[in-house]
Amino acid sequence: MNQTSVDYLNGRLFPMILRFSIPAAVSLLITAVYNIVDRMFVGNFVGTSALAGLSVCFPLSYMMMAFGLMCSAGGSTFFSLFSGQKAYDRMNRAFGNAMVLVCGFEVLLSVFLLLLPDPMLQLFGVTETSYPFALTYYRIVALGCVFQGLSQLFCDFVRVSGKPVLGMCVTGIGAVTNLLLDALFIIVFHWGVAGAAAATVIGQILSAAFGAFLVFSGRTQVQVSAPIFRPERRLCLRILSCGFAFWVAQIAMAFISLVYNSQLGRYGGDIAISVYAVVSSIMTFVIMPASGISQGIQPILGNNYGSGHPRRVMQTFWLATGLSVGVTCVIWVLVLLFPRQILAAFGGTEEMFAIGVTGLRINFCITPVLGFVMLATTFFQSINRPVPSVLISLLRQVVFLVPFLYLLPLVLDINGIFFAQPISDLLATGLSLGLILREQRRMTAPHR
């Protein structure tokens, strides 16, 4: 067995958290670049209606990530738990079954999306002016579902094998490719949104290919053999159950994108939808570092929990919380100080500035708490307690948020839409803190 040199059980925690979290955070930020770079190029070189078309398709990226993350997060969690138990054969089967699940779900998603483009775009809230741009982008990006899922899977398993920098490179290769091809296809060839979509899919293909090379050439802890890809019903159900919180979070975000597009289109038209494209892109830069730190500590939590070291598990969580909140604060300050400059980077017009400057500041007013909420969600998933994780995601992204999106604009007009998320996040923070403290008492009680 190709063992990692990382001492999860006795090594110094903070350096280990940094070692895993920084590459994971960079990797997720790189993933975010796929959509953000497309928007920046399209907003600057094609126009506002085209940018609105891409924003309408934003739920598509959440749907693609939902199934990939569910399988990869669940599989890699059990990979770490089995590693802590020194159950090496079960580690390999966790990878094989997760890969089979990713391929199956993502292929079915591609077929579903390609068969129903018009109903899905209507559901996404497409407008008459943005429809032709949205349809072009949708049809091409829908072809890349399986590559998006596989690149996430390989990235996660390379990382939990003790090689976080190589895991970062899996997504990095695709992002750099996307950036270069966006410039070529949009600026040089004038392919517009079709060029943006093609660049995204080609980047995903290269990421998946490099990840497959690392795993199948024996450069990770995974030992590949035909039997590990034989689906085991019980293991597959455990993987899906463990990663289900990620599916809920992503699908909830896709659903919320629909509500946002509908409400923003009602109160501000294509301009407001374009502003939301910028808001959601910048929010990615807040969520991804926090998610990266969460993913970075996953193998530390899993190995220590599997080996029966609950106090070290909680010590890891609270150290990571301080780091996550600190990083989030930096982005928070930048958004509050420079909203106009951020909008300008996406081809902002005076009409966008009129809505977006205030909208950005409102939406990000309590952003630092997200560092804690994101960590709490992944913490429960990492120790194979999916119910609290699902509860936090569902309440934050749906139960708390949706009523505010409909009620607040009645009083505050369009700014009410931007106030909905911070209020929901504040409520989710209180819930997360209560659940974490209860879990800490359970884990560290004397009978443990």
Q: Select from 109, 69, 108, 73 the least CA-distant residue to 94.
A: 73
In a domain? residue 87: yes
Contacts of 344 (CB under 8 A, 6+ apart): none
Domain that residue 416 falls in = 13-444
pLDDT digit of tens for each residue in the chain (448 aa)?
Answer: 444 456 778 888 888 888 888 887 777 777 666 667 777 788 788 877 787 788 778 788 888 888 998 999 889 989 988 887 888 899 999 999 999 999 999 999 999 999 999 999 988 878 788 899 999 999 999 999 999 999 999 998 998 888 888 988 998 898 889 889 989 999 999 998 999 999 999 999 999 999 999 999 999 989 999 999 999 999 999 999 888 877 887 888 778 877 887 888 788 777 777 777 777 777 777 777 787 888 788 888 878 887 888 888 899 999 999 988 888 888 888 888 888 887 777 666 777 788 778 888 888 888 888 888 888 888 887 887 878 988 888 888 889 999 999 999 899 888 888 899 899 999 999 999 999 999 999 887 765 4
144 belongs to a structural domain: yes
Tokens of 282: 């910048």
User: How much is the pLDDT for 33?
Assistant: 67
Quick: pLDDT tens for 36-52. 777 778 878 887 778 77
Query: Residue 1: inside a domain, yes or no?
Result: no
**Between the CA of residue 288 and those of 30, 82, 284, what are the distances in Å?**
9, 27, 6
pLDDT value for 1: 43
7 is a domain residue: no
Which tokens go with 21?
A: 């979290």
In a domain, 5, yes or no: no
In a domain, residue 2? The reply is no
Any domain includes 399: yes
Which residue shows structure tokens 């109160």? 267
pLDDT reported for residue 138: 94
Question: For 343, what's the count of Cα atoms within 13 Å in the CB-facing half-sphere?
Answer: 26
User: Closest Cα to residue 402, out of 257, 273, 276?
Assistant: 257
Q: Roughly how many angstroms between the first and final C-alpha of the chain, as a whole number?
A: 31
User: Based on the structure, what is the number of domains in the chain?
Assistant: 1
Q: How many whole angstroms separate alpha carbon 265 and alpha carbon 335?
A: 24
Residue 3 covered by a domain = no
For residue 250, give the nearest of 291, 209, 195 by alpha carbon: 291
